Structure 1
Amino acid sequence: MVNSNPPVNTLPPDQISPKAVIMRVIQIKNAVLRNWKLIIIFMVIGGIGGFILDYFTKKKTIYTAVLTFNLGGGSSGSSSFGELGALAGAFGLAGGAPDANIFTGDNFLVYSRSRPVIEKTLLKEVTVNGKKNLLVNYYIEKGGIREDEWEDDDTLRNIRFTKKPIAKFTLLENIAMGQIFERIKGETTLYQPDRKSSFIELRVGMEQEFLAKVFAENLLTTIEEDYKVKQTKKTREMYDVLSHRADSLARLLNRTESNLARYIDQNQQMVVAEGQIQQTRLSRNSTFLQSQYLGALQQVDNLRLSLIKEAPLFTVIEPVSLPLVKDVTDPRGTEAGIILGLILGVVVIFFRETFRSIMNEA
Structure 2
Amino acid sequence: MQTSNNFYDDEIRLKDVILKLQALKGELFSRWKLIFITSLLFAVLGVLYAIKKQVIYKAELNFVVEDNSGGGGALGKYSGLASQFGFDLGLGTSTTFSEGNIHELLTSRRVVEEALLSKVNINGNDELLINYHIEFNDYRDEWSETMPEIKDLIFTTDRNRFSLAKDSILALAWKNLTNENLQIELGEESSIITVICQSKDEQFAKLLVEALVSEVSDYYTHTQTAKARHTLDFIQNRADSVLTELKLAELSYARHKDSNFGVMRAEGLLDELRLKREVEILNVMYGEIIKNLEISKVTLLNQKPLINVIDSPRFPLEVVRLSKLKGLLLFALLGVTIASIYVVINSLIRDVLEES
Alignment of 1:20-99 (within 5 A): 20-29=16-25, 59-72=53-66, 74-77=68-71
In the alignment, the residues of structure 2 paired with residue 100 and residue 106 of structure 1 have an alpha-carbon distance, to the nearest angstrom, of: 14
1:196 to 189, 196, 201: 189
Q: For each residue in 1:236-284, what CA deviation from the matched residue of structure 2 results, as whole angstroms up to 9, or x when unmatched? A: 2222222221121122222222222223223323333223222222222
Matched residues, number: 329
Alignment of 1:1-362 (within 5 A): 8-11=4-7, 18-29=14-25, 59-72=53-66, 74-77=68-71, 101-142=95-136, 144=137, 146=139, 152-155=146-149, 157-165=151-159, 168-185=161-178, 186-192=180-186, 194-328=187-321, 335=331, 338=335, 342=339, 345=342, 349=346, 352-353=349-350, 355-357=352-354, 360-361=355-356
Q: Secondary structure at the match of 1:60?
A: coil
Partners of 2:63 and 2:192 within 8 A in 1: yes
Q: Equivalent pairs: percent with the same residue?
A: 28
Query: Which amino acid is the alignment partner of residue 99 of structure 2?
Result: G
Query: Which amino acid is the alignment partner of residue 22 of structure 2?
Result: I
In the alignment, the residues of structure 1 paired with residue 8 and residue 227 of structure 2 have an alpha-carbon distance, to the nearest angstrom, of: 72
CA RMSD of aligned residues (A): 4.1
- Counterparts in 2 of 1:105 and 1:216: CA distance versus 1, 3 Å: closer
In the alignment, the residues of structure 1 paired with residue 351 and residue 94 of structure 2 have an alpha-carbon distance, to the nearest angstrom, of: 60
1:218 CA drift (Å): 2.2
Query: Which amino acid is the alignment partner of residue 237 of structure 2?
Result: H
More deviation in 211-220 or 266-275?
266-275
Q: Unpaired runs of 5+ in structure 2? A: 77-92
Q: Unpaired runs of 5+ in structure 1? A: 83-98
Q: For each residue in 1:111-170, what CA deviation from the matched residue of structure 2 results, as whole angstroms up to 9, or x when unmatched? A: 22222111221222112233221122122222x2728986844455532111123x5532
Query: Which amino acid is the alignment partner of residue 68 of structure 2?
Result: G
Q: Secondary structure at the match of 2:321?
A: strand
1:314 CA drift (Å): 3.0
Q: Secondary structure at the match of 2:111?
A: helix
In the alignment, the residues of structure 1 paired with residue 174 and residue 265 of structure 2 have an alpha-carbon distance, to the nearest angstrom, of: 79
Query: Which amino acid is the alignment partner of residue 105 of structure 1?
Result: E
Structure (1/2) with the larger helix percentage:
2
1:37 CA drift (Å): 8.2
More deviation in 260-269 or 338-347?
338-347
In the alignment, the residues of structure 2 paired with residue 171 and residue 132 of structure 1 have an alpha-carbon distance, to the nearest angstrom, of: 25
In the alignment, the residues of structure 2 paired with residue 40 and residue 71 of structure 1 have an alpha-carbon distance, to the nearest angstrom, of: 55
In the alignment, the residues of structure 1 paired with residue 245 and residue 167 of structure 2 have an alpha-carbon distance, to the nearest angstrom, of: 50
- Counterparts in 2 of 1:65 and 1:40: CA distance versus 1, 3 Å: closer
1:215 CA drift (Å): 2.0
Q: Secondary structure at the match of 2:158?
A: coil
Partners of 1:11 and 1:17 within 8 A in 2: no
Q: Secondary structure at the match of 1:76?
A: coil
Q: For each residue in 1:21-77, what CA deviation from the matched residue of structure 2 results, as whole angstroms up to 9, or x when unmatched? A: 202313434565787788789x59x959x79x969x963221112222233362334
- Counterparts in 2 of 1:201 and 1:311: CA distance versus 1, 3 Å: same
Query: Which amino acid is the alignment partner of residue 167 of structure 2?
Result: N
In the alignment, the residues of structure 1 paired with residue 302 and residue 11 of structure 2 have an alpha-carbon distance, to the nearest angstrom, of: 71
Q: Secondary structure at the match of 2:126?
A: strand
Partners of 1:39 and 1:345 within 8 A in 2: no
More deviation in 57-66 or 170-179?
57-66
Partners of 1:63 and 1:205 within 8 A in 2: yes
Q: For each residue in 1:84-127, what CA deviation from the matched residue of structure 2 results, as whole angstroms up to 9, or x when unmatched? A: xxxxxxxxxxxxxxx99441132222222222111221222112
Tell me the TM-score normalised to structure 1 length: 0.74
In the alignment, the residues of structure 1 paired with residue 199 and residue 147 of structure 2 have an alpha-carbon distance, to the nearest angstrom, of: 22
Partners of 1:73 and 1:311 within 8 A in 2: no
In the alignment, the residues of structure 1 paired with residue 347 and residue 32 of structure 2 have an alpha-carbon distance, to the nearest angstrom, of: 13
Tell me the TM-score normalised to structure 2 length: 0.75
